[in-house]
Each structure stands twice: as C-alpha cells, then as structure tokens.
C-alpha cells in the first residue's frame, strides 16, 4: 500500500484519487488558519514556487481538531489562504486527522511514521497542548498538532515526517534531496 491507494475529498466534496499525483514528490500537511504556525503558509508557498516545476506538489488538508484553529467553511478557509498567503497549491476539504472520523490517508500516514518530538521554544508550548489531547503523546505516532508534514517520494512511499516545530529549512533540504 502507498499514497496512491487513497481517495480524498476536494473542497467541492468530489472524490480525488491521489493516484493522479503518481510520479510527483508530495508534501502532505494538515493546516489551520488561526494557529501560531499559520505563517508557515508563506514558507510552503515559497517551496512550491521554487520546486513545482521539479515535480513537487503540496497537498493542504485543513483540520479544526487542534484548538479549533480552522473554523469556517472550506470556502472561507480557502479564501483566507489565497488572500492572505497567496497559496496556489491544492487545498482539500477540511478533515479529521484523528478520532472516529479520521480519514484513511491519515491513518496510513500515522501507521507508517513515528513521532520524533518537538523542538525549540514553540516545542515546549505544543508539548503542553499535545499532552492535554493525549497523555501518552510522546510514545505514539498520532498527529499532535497543526502543520505536521509528511514527505512522499515519487513512488508514493512515505519517507519523512516533520513536526510543526521542525524548521522549514530542514523540510526544504529533505524535499530537495528526493526531488
């Protein structure tokens, strides 16, 4: 099984097979519009601008499960992201990354990656929030917060996971290494 086996929902509710991204390098991100990490949209767009021509696609999945930081409809979220951050990469319908409504893609991403911990000052803050959601958060692979990123190679295999506190320079370096 790999990423191409999954179907997700577009903003309009239609099904999108991830097999349409076959042969591309993917960075899958669960996002929120009202989070301390929301400015990462600028870095993500810069990365996309620089490497889309090389086969990079960034797949944006808004999620309101962490601190209710992605309120609003899919259309409102998209309008905010395009207007405020100028994003041009694909943005899908709002999802659940955990719980009974977790989408299968995120179940697979969690099962095939591991949590490496948070870093820096923001890491301390996110650790406190993550602990409220999951007392055993350090010992499982569940997504802990907004802007967790998963790097998928051109064969559809998961090759790296980045927590939201990982510096975007490190994400960029690993993306470039597999492009």
- Report the 10 Å Cβ neighbour count for 139: 10
Quote the number of domains for the chain. 1
pLDDT digit string, tens, across residues 60-86? 999 999 999 999 999 999 999 999 999
Q: What is the mean pLDDT of the chain?
A: 96
User: Which helix (H) or strand (E) covers residue 58, if one does?
Assistant: strand 56-62
Backbone angles phi, psi at 62, to 5 degrees: -60, 145
**CATH code of the domain in which 14 resides:** 3.40.30.10
pLDDT digit string, tens, across residues 83-137? 999 999 999 999 999 999 999 999 999 999 999 899 999 999 999 999 988 999 9
Are the C-beta atoms of 129 and 150 separated by less than 8 Å? no
Q: Is the dihedral of CA 76, 79, 84, 85 positive or negative?
A: positive
pTM: 0.97
- Positions annotated as catalytic residues are 35
Per the DSSP assignment, residues forming a β-bridge with 63 are: 95
Predicted local confidence at residue 114, as pLDDT: 96
Domain hosting 33: range is: 3-178
pLDDT, average across residues 7-22: 97
């Amino acid at each position: 099984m790999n990423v191409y086996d999954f179907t997700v929902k577009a903003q309009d509710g239609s099904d999108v097979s991830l097999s349409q991204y076959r042969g591309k390098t993917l960075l899958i991100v669960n996002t929120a519009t009202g989070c301390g990490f929301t400015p990462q949209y600028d870095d993500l767009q810069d990365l996309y601008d620089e490497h889309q021509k090389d086969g990079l696609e960034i797949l944006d999945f808004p999620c309101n499960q962490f601190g209710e930081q992605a309120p609003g409809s899919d259309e409102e979220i998209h309008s905010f992201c395009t207007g405020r951050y100028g994003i041009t990469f694909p943005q899908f319908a709002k999802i659940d990354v955990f719980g009974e409504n977790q989408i299968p893609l995120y179940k697979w991403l969690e099962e095939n990656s591991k949590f490496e911990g948070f870093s820096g000052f923001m890491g301390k803050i996110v650790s406190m929030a993550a602990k409220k959601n999951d007392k055993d958060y350090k010992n499982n692979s569940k997504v802990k917060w907004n802007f967790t990123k998963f790097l998928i190679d051109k064969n559809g295999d998961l090759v790296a996971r980045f927590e939201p506190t990982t510096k975007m320079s490190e994400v960029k370096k690993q993306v470039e290494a597999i492009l």
